[in-house]
Structure 1
C-alpha cells in the first residue's frame, strides 16, 4: 500500500480503525451423513467413470477425517472392476484399514464382514488374503533364536 504524507501527519486521535469479525466458513448447507454416503455411492456407480475419476474419488475419501461406509467401499470395488484395476481395489482396502486407526480391531472386521460378498462376487481378495499384512522379507528376530 502507498500512504500519502497527509495521512501519516494526522494525529492518532483522528485516525479511526475499524475491526470487522469475519467467520471463515462456507456458509452453505450442511450435508448429512446419509447424503454424503449417497453422493459417493452414486459417484462410484456411474457407468462412464474412468480410472482417473476412480482414483480421484478414492483420494478425496482418504483425505477426509472419516472411514468410508461399507456401501461406498462396495461401489468403489465395482468401479475398480469396471475400469479393470485390481491393484487399486486392494490398495483402497488397505487405505480403509489404515483409516480405522487404533480401533482397527473393531472397525475393520465389520467392514470386511459387510463387503465380503461383493469381494467374492468380483473376485477381489483382501490384503490379508494376499499376505500384504505381513512384511515380505521379515526375518526371525535374533533375540528369539
Structure 2
C-alpha cells in the first residue's frame, strides 16, 4: 500500500512540474464604428461653422474650445480665427485669453509664429533704455487684435 501511495504521489508531482503549452484565444480586431473617417478639411470646416454660428453663447464657446483642445492637437489658424471672432461677438475677453493660452501650451515650438498665421499683428513695446522692441504677451495681443 505504501508503494501505491508513493507511485501516485510521484506521478502527481511530475504532472505538476510538467509545463503544458498555454494557448490563448486569437484576438479579434474589428472596427466597431460605422462612421466614415473625417478628413482634415471636413474637420476644419465643422469647427469653423461651429464657431461662426451667429447665435453662439459663452457656454457653447467654452464647450467647443474644451472639446477642441481635448483632441490634443493644435487647431488650424482658421479655426482659431473664427473662435476669436466669436469671442469678439460675445465681448468675452477672458475666453479669448483662454484660447490663446491653450495655443501657447499646445504649440510649444514658437507660439508667436503661430499667432502670426492667424492674422494677429504682434507689435512691440519700445523700451526706453535700449530702444528695442520686445514682443507682447498674449493678453496684449488679444486686446490689440479684438478691440
| Shorter-chain TM-score range | 0.5 to 0.7
Selected match of 2:109 from 76, 100, 105: 105
Cα gap change, 1:23 to 1:129, in 2 (>3 Å)? same
Asked if the contact 1:90/1:126 (under 8 Å) is kept, the reply is no
Asked if the contact 2:116/2:122 (under 8 Å) is kept, the reply is no
Cα offsets for 1:79-125 (capped at 9, x unmatched): 1111111111011100011112xxx234x2332112244899xxxx8
What's the secondary structure of 2:138's corresponding residue? coil
Cα distance in 2, alignment partners of residues 89 and 37 from structure 1: 19
Cα distance in 2, alignment partners of residues 93 and 105 from structure 1: 14
Cα distance in 2, alignment partners of residues 111 and 96 from structure 1: 9
Q: CA RMSD in A?
A: 2.8
What's the secondary structure of 1:21's corresponding residue? coil
- Where structure 2 has 5 or more consecutive residues not aligned to the other structure, the ranges are 1-24, 124-135, 142-147
Residue in structure 2 matched with residue 127 of structure 1 by the alignment: 138
What's the secondary structure of 1:65's corresponding residue? coil
Asked if the contact 1:77/1:89 (under 8 Å) is kept, the reply is yes
Mapping 1:1-80, distance limit 5 Å:
21=28, 23=30, 25-80=32-87
- Give the TM-score, by structure 1 length: 0.62
Selected match of 1:90 from 71, 79, 97: 97
- Where structure 1 has 5 or more consecutive residues not aligned to the other structure, the ranges are 1-17, 131-145
Query: How far apart are 1:21 and its partner, in Å?
Result: 3.1
What's the secondary structure of 2:75's corresponding residue? coil
Larger Rg: 2
Aligned length: 105
